[in-house]
Structure 1
Amino acid sequence: MRWESLFADMEAQLAAGRLADVRADVAELARAERASITLAARARASVGRPVRMLVGGADVVEGELIDATPEWLLVATSSVRRALVPLAAASAIDGLAAHAAPAAGAVESRLGLGHALRALARDRAVVRVRAGGADLTGRIERVGADHLDLADVDGARRGGWAVAFATLQVVRTG
């Protein structure tokens, strides 16, 4: 009888050890999975949610996240106003879902910041651009590979601003 209880105790210890190993493996796999999640994937999973973004260290953009790509986020700040934020300019985002969306498709992956800015140029929308800590207002005339040309709304100034994408913090419409 003592031998049977000794063997039963040893089997229980082995089973407990195996269960602990499985739990440790699952925890490690979960940590590895979380480490692979990008901010863009969490933003894509949060479309339709209210968010608040700290942009460029001081500016706050708040509203409903209506679109998200690997390069930019579009937020409805009111019923008619929109804010286009390059993902690289978002210092912190509050309100994101804890989970991630599946990887972006081939078409969505190619929708860079230039595509969104060209749509604004095509619509001849008056925009307020925050870039490098400065605020500029005008119409986007042209969009290059790494910059946009912003012209005065009234055409009073000749030329216009060439704004580097790297300095863009937010482009507001409406």
Structure 2
Amino acid sequence: MRWDRLFEDLEAQLALDEVRGLESEVADRTRRERALLDVHTRLLANLDAPRAVLRLPGRVVAGRLVDVGPDWALVETAPNRPVLVALPAVRAVSGVGPGARTPSVVARRFGMGAALRAVSRDRAGVEVTDVDGQAATGTIDVVGADHLELAEHASDETRRTANVTGRLIVPFWSLGSVRRL
């Protein structure tokens, strides 16, 4: 009987060690998988989040998360008032849930340049804000490989040669947000 209890105790300890080992392995795999997540995949899992808050230096862009690219997010701050936010300018995000979603191959290639070309196609007036919070208004004339060129003019004027007061080149790495006027 004494031997039976000893073997039962040893079996219980072995089973407990196996459970602990499995729990440790699951925790390690979870940490490894989470380490591979980036902001893009986290935001993709939260499309249509009604109260996403993207904090940039000196300001906040808050609203419904409409779309996300590898280096940008589109936030509808009011009905039909989208703001294109450069993800490198984002300092923190709140108002989104857990989870992640892997982007498609096409979505991974639809970067800032493609998003800005879509904005510039209709020749609408925009407000371009850099990472320091400095804003300029005008019309995007050119979207290059790593920059945009803004024909500066007053927000209440259309882009006409007579209305253009200057040209501003904004590198993508210093871009904070672009808002249609």
TM bucket normalised to smaller: over 0.9
For 1:97, what is the secondary structure of its paired residue? coil
User: How far apart are residue 20 of structure 1 and its match?
Assistant: 0.9
1:108 aligns with 2:115: no
Matched, 1:19 2:19: yes
The answer to whether the 8 Å contact 2:58/2:133 transfers is no
Instruction: Decide whether the 8 Å contact of 2:59 with 2:133 is kept in 1.
Output: no
Q: Distance in 1 between matches of 2:2 and 2:34?
A: 48
Please, what TM-score do these two structures have when normalized by structure 1? 0.93
Listed as ranges, the matches of 1:42-121 within 5 Å are 42-49=42-49, 50-55=51-56, 57-102=57-102, 104-121=103-120
Whole-angstrom CA distance in 1 between matches of 2:22 and 2:113: 47
- Look up the SS of the partner of 1:160 in the other structure: strand
> Could you tell me how far 1:97 is from its partner in structure 2?
2.2
Paired residues, what number? Answer: 172
Indicate the SS of the match to 2:91: strand
Task: Could you tell me which runs of 5 or more consecutive residues in structure 2 were left unpaired when the two chains were aligned.
Answer: 154-158
Contact 2:69 2:108 in 1 (8 A): yes
- Displacement of 1:154: 5.1
Runs (5+) with no aligned partner, structure 1: none
**1-structure distance, mates of 2:165, 2:33:** 53
The 3-state SS of whatever aligns with 2:123 is coil
Query: Can you list the C-alpha shifts for 1:128-151, whole angstroms capped at 9, x where unaligned?
Result: 010143110011111111111111
> How far, CA to CA, are the matches of 1:157 and 1:36 in structure 2?
46
1:158 Cα shift?
5.1
Distance of 2:82 and 2:160 partners within structure 1: 22
CA deviations 1:136-174 (Å, max 9, x no partner) are: 001111111111111124543455111111111010114
SS at match of 1:77: strand
Deviation per residue, 1:82-127 (Å, 9 max, x gap): 110011111111022211002x222111111011111111111111
CA distance in 1, matches of 2:171, 2:98: 33
User: Where does structure 1 differ by over 6 angstroms across 4 or more consecutive aligned residues?
Assistant: none
The TM-score, its normalising length taken from structure 2, stands at: 0.90
Q: Residues 58-88 of structure 1: CA distance to partner in whole angstroms, max 9, x if unpaired? A: 1100000000111110000001211100111
Aligned-residue identity in percent? 40
Equivalent residue number for residue 171 of structure 1? 178
- Is residue 135 of structure 2 the alignment partner of residue 128 of structure 1? no
Counterpart residue identity of residue 167, structure 2 = G
The one-letter code sitting in structure 1 at the alignment partner of 2:53 is R
Match of 2:156 in 1: none
